[in-house]
């Protein structure tokens, strides 16, 4: 019995294909880690803006060069459970005080009077119905949240059905309502699926 050698051209072709696969996998991994990444929405805490089972793509690169802005929709790790990802909207910025009063949100900047936040993205069920914890309590008495430096106050658009900064300080062991910037992993860039709902997001403009 005799053995024949594999032509060097075939070996080179196999090596070339394997190398290309490795490079592609590495590039995809780098993109997912540092640039963009897909997520699936679970739950209804952001309706009508985002709905259950929609697929979104987040921009991880954006916050390498700038801080989150008010109105950004972000993916983050909540202080109550760092093993999960949540999607909410940035409302309070470092150094401000977020005031919840009479079903509305107010922003108190240092040395200024409270300014009511205009939130056109809230649907009829949630407009003027931002309550204290528990979020469906109907409690309209005032509660103030002074936002520490380097941290943010986040709310879901479904104000009566969202586990957000109003709740975080009451749950778990961290006893904080705020999310540090390193725990914010990226901003929601666009809805990818279903195809009929594909659209991109822009940061709302607030007259503050």
Catalytic sites, residue numbers = 45, 88
Asked if residue 206 lies in contact with residue 175, where contact means CB atoms within 8 angstroms, the answer is no
Per-residue DSSP letters for 56-104? EEEESSGGGTS---TT-EEEE--TT-TTS-EEEEEEE-TT-EEEEETTE
End-to-end CA distance of the chain: 87
Sheet arrangement for strand 115-116: 115-116, 104-108, 97-101, 143-146
Place of tokens 């009063």: 101
**Residue in 113, 118, 190, 185 with CA at minimum distance from that of residue 152:** 185
Name the E strands within the chain. Answer: 36-40, 55-59, 73-76, 86-92, 97-101, 104-108, 115-116, 143-146, 151-155, 179-180, 184-193, 199-200
């Amino acid at each position: 019995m005799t053995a024949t050698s594999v032509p060097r051209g075939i070996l080179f072709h196999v090596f070339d294909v394997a190398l290309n696969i490795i490079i592609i996998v590495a590039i995809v991994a780098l993109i997912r880690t540092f640039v963009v990444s897909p997520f699936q929405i679970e739950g209804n805490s952001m309706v009508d803006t985002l709905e259950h089972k929609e697929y979104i793509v987040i921009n991880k690169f954006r916050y390498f060069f700038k801080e989150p802005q008010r109105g950004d929709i972000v993916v983050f790790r909540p202080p109550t459970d760092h093993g999960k990802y949540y999607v909410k909207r940035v409302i309070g910025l470092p150094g401000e005080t977020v005031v919840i009063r009479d079903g509305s949100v107010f922003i108190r900047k240092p040395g200024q009077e409270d300014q009511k936040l205009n939130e056109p993205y809230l649907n009829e069920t949630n407009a003027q119905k931002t309550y204290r914890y528990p979020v469906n309590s109907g409690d309209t008495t005032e509660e103030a949240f002074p936002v520490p430096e380097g941290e943010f106050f986040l709310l879901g658009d479904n104000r009566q059905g969202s586990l957000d900064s109003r709740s975080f300080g009451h749950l778990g062991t961290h006893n904080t309502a705020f999310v540090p910037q390193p725990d914010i992993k990226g901003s929601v860039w666009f809805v990818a699926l279903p195809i009929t709902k594909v659209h991109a997001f822009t940061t709302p403009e607030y007259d503050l």
